[in-house]
Chain A
């Protein structure tokens, strides 16, 4: 990742984290709010690899935790793992697949919700599993899926892609 791409990605994650903490998380549609930051981190992971995904996930989560005065590190941990997993998926089986953004966003949204619930439960917070995993998760999942491709397109425009398509250097004909 070039320095310029890193700076652009940092600004993007910073702004999206502030947006997520201040605006998006309180914009309820059908009973749930989208997680724009998670979608951006997943897109970064898919496009730039597991290490950038994890690093930007950690940084974005830290900003959210600071702004919302939540327990420091909780959102960072969730988004670090989300970015890393998205990155690993992009580096291996998901690379070049059209459905990769939707699949990654869908699976990681569900896993992040479950992991977040477990973390908060372990920290002794009052959590209602039905509300976290059913009432708000289903609309959040749908909204995240709706955002997946536009965000993926935007992130690709801003930070570029690590694995670019190259013309075939050699061709082997099998008869």
Chain B
């Protein structure tokens, strides 16, 4: 019995769908036609794919496709123009839904980019500093008898009267007490305390610090120490009155050795530039003020000079 027929449907008189009754030969002809059509279309599609895939740019198939696209382009543009208002409306509505999340995302992105910009600034500054350092250690002014340990700044003592820094290099890196500390700009100070991974450096601006120095032009000698009552200014003390020192002269470490002893600072490390020279009747020495080359307040990294004799004996 056919599925659609039932007593209920007969009683209610509703419509039922019926398969058109077709003779067997007509049905098989329909199936054959169906197979021929689908087979032909699939074959045609495969031929198109093959030709399109194998033809090079500018080939015959490419030309056909290009021509087809050109013909269809006005229709595509027309449809796009007709639909554009609807699309704009959709985009506008969609943007309303996403506005809040977009704002949050953009704020987060802005914050991230700002942090990246700051990091990049730091990286660029560090890069410039390291280049300068590399140039310095491979240059002629770098002391010959020394090698170096590069160290970043770990911190500073909180007390204002302590002119010292703590660096991230210690005895594990070969650093010892009394090792000189420099930057490519000039002399920084002296290592006064060492642990395995860090060291404390007494800056040249510390009241206790001193270094024998010489006027690079006139060879007038003296001792560089911190000028009392100033922040970063140094004085070249113990310069005899008959010695010639002029404003603008460069002051460098003297570096001496006698009877097997030598100064802690090697010879020729820049300290600063003479800013003023004074004489007084009551003082047997000249009063020479020196502006240090090193900006002691903006130290990021330093070089600890380690004698080559020590590293070779290790």
Instruction: Give A residues with C-beta under 8 Å from B.
Output: 14-15, 18-19, 21-23, 27, 50-51, 54-55, 58, 61-63, 65-67, 69, 71-74, 76-77, 80-81, 84, 95-96, 119, 123, 163, 165-169, 171-175
Contacts and interface: CB of A to CB of B under 8 A. Distances in A.
A55 to B, nearest CB: 7
Interface string B71-89: 0110110011001000100
Contacts, number: 116
Interface stretch (B37-45, B104-112, B283-291, B294-302): B37-45
B17 interface: yes
Interface in B56-104: 61, 64-65, 68-69, 72-73, 75-76, 79-80, 83, 87, 90
Contact of B45 (A58, A66, A95, A168): A58
Closest 8 A/B residue pairs (Cβ): A73-B48, A171-B10, A77-B45, A73-B49, A72-B52, A66-B68, A18-B79, A73-B45
Interface stretch (B1-9, B124-132, B155-163): B1-9
B15 interface: yes
A95 B20 CA distance: 13
Interface of B: 1, 4-7, 9-10, 15-18, 20, 33-34, 37-38, 41-42, 44-53, 61, 64-65, 68-69, 72-73, 75-76, 79-80, 83, 87, 90
Given A71-B49, A73-B52, A166 B61 contact: no
A71 B6 CA distance: 53
A171 B34 contact: no
18 contacts: A14-B75, A18-B72, A18-B79, A21-B76, A23-B79, A51-B37, A54-B38, A58-B41, A58-B44, A67-B69, A71-B53, A72-B61, A80-B38, A95-B17, A119-B49, A166-B16, A168-B4, A171-B10
Given A166-B18, A171-B10, 10 more contacts: A18-B75, A19-B83, A54-B41, A67-B76, A73-B48, A80-B41, A163-B20, A168-B16, A172-B1, A173-B7
A167 B15 contact: yes
A23 B10 contact: no
B79 A19 contact: yes
A123 B41 contact: no
Nearest to A53: B38
A67 B69 CA distance: 5
B82 to A, nearest CB: 9
Contacts of A66: 65, 68-69, 72
Contacts of B16: 165-166, 168
A71 B80 contact: no
A168 B53 contact: no
Contacts of A174: 1, 6-7
A164 to B, nearest CB: 8
A87 to B, nearest CB: 8
Nearest to B84: A23
Given A55-B37, A84-B38, A174-B1, A69 B69 contact: yes
